[in-house]
């Protein structure tokens, strides 16, 4: 038997590590609130159980997509990059109430575990972006894409269509879109000879980039997948 065969699987360690975040939160909550009532305690335990189910569902999906637990374990064995992607995707899946996001995280993690270096790098970027985007951010990004497209079809004398749409969004939402790298920032040409006029109060957003558009397309695509 080779040394590689004798090495234990890292899968249980990864799963337990992901679960530890949940357990720690629950334990800390109990420890920090003396005299916690039974009703509130039941709510806390319900939250813990919900996240435990999400974790199990996430790993079930990843295992199925990569072709079994052995292949998953082999993919992360001695590969810190893939292991980190799997761990971060699991944490994001635990935290989000968005079913499509949980499905996409499992899909992206599986692609990182089975793909070559470009797929691993792309998965890392996608997991990082998804971790910072929840329902309000995704809804806003969808609206901004629609406004961006309308603006490009008929920009007029400026990019007022897009900028007016951005004005309707909460500043913290716009900041999150900039932070996760799904939007274009700064002036750009929107038609021959006509440049955009980004506004500081809209974080100088001047459109949605290909990464942001692909993220939305991927979220839509997983609605019809398991």
Tens-place pLDDT, residues 66-97: 999 899 989 988 899 999 999 999 999 999 99
Mean pLDDT on 166-191: 93
C-alpha distance from residue 102 to each of 9, 98, 123, 131, 211 (Å): 24, 6, 14, 10, 19
Residue of 55, 53, 47 lying closest to 89 (CA atoms):
55
1-30 residue pLDDT tens: 344 444 445 555 555 555 555 555 555 555
C-alpha distance from residue 130 to each of 22, 95, 98, 137, 186 (Å): 19, 11, 11, 10, 23
* Predicted local confidence at residue 48, as pLDDT: 74
Statement: residue 42 has pLDDT above 80: no
* Predicted local confidence at residue 3, as pLDDT: 40
pTM score > 0.85 for this model? no
Sequence ranges of the domains in the chain: 3-131, 135-221
More confident residue, 18 or 102: 102
Cα–Cα dist 160/197, whole Å: 9
């Amino acid at each position: 038997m080779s040394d590689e065969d004798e090495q234990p699987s890292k899968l249980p360690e990864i799963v337990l590590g992901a679960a530890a975040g949940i357990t720690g939160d629950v334990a800390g909550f109990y420890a920090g609130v003396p005299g916690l009532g039974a009703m509130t305690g039941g709510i806390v335990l319900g939250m813990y159980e919900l996240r435990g189910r999400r974790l199990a569902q996430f790993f079930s999906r990843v295992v199925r997509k990569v072709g079994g637990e052995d292949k998953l374990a082999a993919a992360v064995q001695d590969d810190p990059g893939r292991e980190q992607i799997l761990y971060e995707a699991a944490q994001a899946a635990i935290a989000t109430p968005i079913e499509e996001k949980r499905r996409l995280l499992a899909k992206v993690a599986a692609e990182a575990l089975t793909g070559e270096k470009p797929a691993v790098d792309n998965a890392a970027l996608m997991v990082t972006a998804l971790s910072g985007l929840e329902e309000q951010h995704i809804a806003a990004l969808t609206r901004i894409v629609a406004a961006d497209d309308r603006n490009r079809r008929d920009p007029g004398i400026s990019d007022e269509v897009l900028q007016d749409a951005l004005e309707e969004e909460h500043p913290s939402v716009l900041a999150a879109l900039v932070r996760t790298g799904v939007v274009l920032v700064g002036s750009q040409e929107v038609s021959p000879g006509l440049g955009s006029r980004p506004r500081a109060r809209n974080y100088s957003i001047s459109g949605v980039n290909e990464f942001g558009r692909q993220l939305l397309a991927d979220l839509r695509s997983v609605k019809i997948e398991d």
